[in-house]
Structure 1
Amino acid sequence: MNHIEQIDQLVRHAVIPISGLLSLLMPANSRVGFGIKRLDGRYRLANQAIEQLLCQGTGRLTGRSECDILPPDRVERLAHCDQLITDGAPAACVEINLPANGEQSRPYLWLKLPVLGTDQRLQSIASVIHEISSPQASSALHQTLDRLQQVNQQLQRTVIELEQVASTDKLTGAWNRRRLEECARKEMDRLQRYGQPLSMILIDIDFFKAINDHNGHHAGDQVLQALAVLLQGRLRGSDSLARWGGEEFVILCSDTRRASAAILAERLRQQIAAETFLVIGQLTVSMGVAECRPGESWEEWFERADQALYRAKSAGRNQVQVAPPAATADSMKDCVIGSFVQLVWHSAYECGDELVDRGHRLLFADANELLSAILSGQAAASVDEIIDRLLADVLQHFHDEESVILAAGFPGTAEHLLLHRQLVDQGLTLVDAYRTGKQGVGDVFQFLAYEVVTKHMLGADREFFPFLRAQASSAFRQGAGVAAATPPQHADQSAPATPGDLLCEA
């Protein structure tokens, strides 16, 4: 390897502190020239060797530029090196002939290096010049570069080892708590800035203390290592696994809504339960899932995931619990998954009109059926059929609801119809994207279950509830009663669920 290749490799692998170059490369009797010039091209530091080479007894180099003392052809070649440094190159070299003590020109190697400020911006350009044919200078520089290269490689290995120790769990190789929190805070900032969703899965090994007590701590360590390998091999590229401590792990799910995170958690739970671990055989885990809320602190987010995990353990272990979304007066509750999440119907959601209430209950049942199909691993064709039916039920319900609120004289009917149109358009667009592989099935469920059922049905719909309840009460007082509503044409395909059918308390 020649000197140019050595120097280039050295500076590419690590930046040599420019303040140390002078003492490292230029001993008192050195014939190696060294200087530093400002970005305007004028030198502000030069040793004796570079002044002898460039000035040839015509004065000092400080305050002068290369174009003041060198022929235009050589200045042009050096200017090209300067441009490379300005463009961000770690080094630039050129072989150039220079006169030496009034003698005939000799070939020199001219190396240029960037001098960066504390803000990592280019401040100056350093020059190192030595005679290529000089055995003494060549040997000295060769030895110095070899020594620097060895030290540099050792420093790099040390830095990598220190970073590995500082950011990973020694036993499992997963991230440690420090690395997890650093990454989580960056992702939370991305949520605040760009609205990208973010979810967390908190995992706890069931009855881990019994594993240690009956089989020894070495067996417990083997279980932790094997579980980390299993989880790491089944995560998506955007997911990150960390060991939180003891028998607890955390999966950070970037760009993921709570419904998709719940699907991932349930699949992992099933895969772990089906695995055979050395010494102990079967193993189960409990999981808590939480989606980060905008403006929420790391501690608040983790606490909600931890509470969901506690509910999973209290309800019998070997299951997934999902933390509820942002709290509202009538927000739906998430039930124990067991095998799947259910949306819970409460009588408080009824508006008093049988046609509207029946449509709402049917959408609850459809959403539960969809998530059950997803989590149980049903064939894509079966999932697609449920999605089609859910969309058809949404369209039918919107049509029925519009006729009811129009007849009731609800003053916000026009605005409500517009909301229906927007939700339908969004739903159709999302399903089209799902069909073409651009969106996951979890995103479809998230939209239908959260945007349509939770936000709209239990949010915007409640604005017309008083009108329908007042109308029903007035009709009852007049003895007219409430006419039985004609069920939708598709109701015979899926009988409407009663509150008791959908209620699933942990």
Structure 2
Amino acid sequence: MQLLHLDSDKLFSEKIKNIAQKNGFTYKRAISTNEVFEKFDTGKTGLLVIDEDIDWMLNNESVRVIISRDFICPPIIVITSKKDLRIKKKCFNMGIMGYFEKELFNSSRFVKYLKTIQKETGNIDLIRKIHIAVLDDSQFTLRIMRVFFDMHGINNVAYYQSPSEFLQQKMDYELFLIDLVLPEHDGDDIIEYIREKNQDAMIILMTAYTNENILAHCLSIGANDFILKPLEMKIFMARISSCINHYYLQREISIKNDQLFDMATRDSLTTLYNRAYFAKICEKKVKENLAADLPFSFILMDIDHFKTVNDQYGHLKGDYVLRELAKVLKENLRNSDIIGRWGGEEFTILMDNATVESSTEVAEKIREVIEKHCFNGIRQITVSIGVAQWQKGDDREILFRRLDHSLYLAKLTGRNKVVSNAELHMIQGDKPMTIEWGLFFKSGNDKIDADHSKLIGMLNKFIYLCFDKNKKKEMDNLLIEFAQEIVDHFDREEEILKDYKYQNYKDHKNVHAELVTKTLKLLKNYNDNNLEPINVAKYLVQEVVIGHIVRHDFNFYNIFTHHENENMIVKS
């Protein structure tokens, strides 16, 4: 940007030159008005400094021509050796930007003017980047504005004289300049219409009427500012600049608020909702769906053998798997589905307006997509999934217990499968389901773990025999043996819990008694040929062994760890 200096004091011109160059301006000096016209560079000259005898300046026709050229002349600063308030006022009436007395010249104040001009130039650069719509039924106003914008290189402007034509357009402009009084529609109607379509745009109302009531009304319904006609272009530009600065400030604040919101609500690794915020959203969504009487379901997913991924490939690769899986979920779910990272390698999904049947189909699709997905440099990744639909009488705890139970069943009966509402499928593909014994089952008590391992082994054998019609006798004998083993195991477990003073001992004992009664009744129905072997197996898995361990036994596992810690403290 250029500072053009008209003066006859070479020594003082060096001072202005140094200030200008230190503040990012190029400097040109003129010693006559004719030289000003010669050296004036439209679009580049950002400031004209006149340092001449003030009386000469005010009476010089060439200088008056320079000052009066509204669309071309840049801001003007006067430096004079005369002290005269009357002359000072006259200068400002002529449109002078700044007035300095030479003997008391204040360099820091002069620099502030330079900064203002730089800021205005920056604002023009901003205006060049935004899309503007002008609506005014006056051809003269539109022509004036077109000349003004064109002169500043602001070309992305659409001009409308007809409100009807304007209303047929997409309201995707960033700045609207709207006349207040229009044929067919008034400015306040137009403002409301724009706000319905575009909440973030800037709207400046142009009017020749100083009606305080209507202006206040327009500001209240969405106008950002107003300017009076006839338009004074310097003020007009200042109002636009003010709106734009406010617009970008608000956008910056909005971006920062969004960032802070994401930090508080998003998991930093996967960018999915974190557990706390997911739970908060769910609380709101549950109320909405229940009020609208719409079905909704939850999906809970766990990566199979994820620990081995970290152990084999390292934690960076493990993080990559989590991020990639989150990406797969986003790509294969609806925008209305809410996805969260439940913790570790677990993910959860709230499915709006979805039954357990439709959610199970989605879960199965996700399972297949993940199984086939190529995780670069990593072995095949599979997931186990539980699905549960909100049912009458549910609360959050009941639903998530059923969801958890479904996931556990999926993981403990072979993994890489979907279990819905804790209902097992005894055949996976064309093979009987099997239960995997592993660390997941271990309680910390060797006797209980040995019993559980034995029961699971017997169950797996019984499931296999269910699919062999020639093994009925063997199956019957195994079932009798299993029933006795259940009774013996429950007795041994109760003795251990009693010795450890388990606080829920009596409740747990009652659960055992109820399960034994149901199991004996089940066996009678089976022996009376009222029940298929596979249904017996399903009940024993879901209720007597796996279901019982997950729902009840897990609750006492911590007493063994706690007891061991106490012994270590005593010994030390």
Q: TM-score of the superposition, structure 1-length normalised?
A: 0.44
Q: Which has the larger radius of gyration?
A: 2
- Bigger relative contact order (CA 8 A; separation at least 6): 1
TM-score (norm 2): 0.39
